[in-house]
């Protein structure tokens, strides 16, 4: 009679998977951003650099960032441009938002 471990050994993967949601998102963003960087002649981003960029951003916010960038790209925009704009904290201060609203109102046509 064989030991039960000999039958189970083939069914259970021996190597433990270290894949995480965050890592998958980092790979996704890296692939999307590097597509444009290579086209523009820049060096591709590495996983450690992506980790540094994302270190202060919670995973749930990365999902939001992914959806915003994907929607922008579907509408014909540049994924990379939207990504870097969303990542920049200076773009989201009260002063920057007020400045955008003021500029938007000043450029409207009057009839």
Q: Would the pTM count as exceeding 0.85?
A: no
Question: Helix 79-87 and helix 21-39: axis angle, to 10°?
Answer: 120
Domain boundaries, the chain: 18-106
Distance CA 30, CA 84 (A): 12
pLDDT at residue 97, rounded to an integer:
80
Average pLDDT of the segment spanning 17-42: 91
pLDDT at residue 106, rounded to an integer:
77
Place of tokens 């290579």: 38
Query: Could you tell me the pLDDT band of residue 18, with boundaries at 50, 70 and 90?
Result: confident
The mean pLDDT of the chain is 86
pLDDT at residue 12, rounded to an integer:
63
pLDDT at residue 20, rounded to an integer:
86
pLDDT tens track for 46-92: 999 999 999 989 999 999 999 999 999 999 999 999 999 999 888 87
């Amino acid at each position: 009679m064989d030991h039960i471990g000999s039958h189970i050994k083939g069914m259970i993967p021996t190597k433990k998977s270290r894949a995480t949601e965050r890592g998958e998102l980092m790979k996704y963003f890296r692939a999307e951003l590097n597509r444009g960087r290579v086209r523009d002649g820049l060096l591709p981003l590495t996983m450690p650099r992506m980790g540094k960029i994302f270190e202060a951003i919670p995973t749930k916010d990365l999902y939001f960032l992914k959806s915003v960038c994907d929607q922008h790209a579907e509408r014909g925009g540049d994924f990379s441009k939207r990504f870097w704009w969303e990542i920049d904290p200076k773009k989201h201060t009260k002063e920057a938002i007020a400045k955008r609203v003021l500029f938007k109102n000043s450029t409207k046509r009057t009839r």
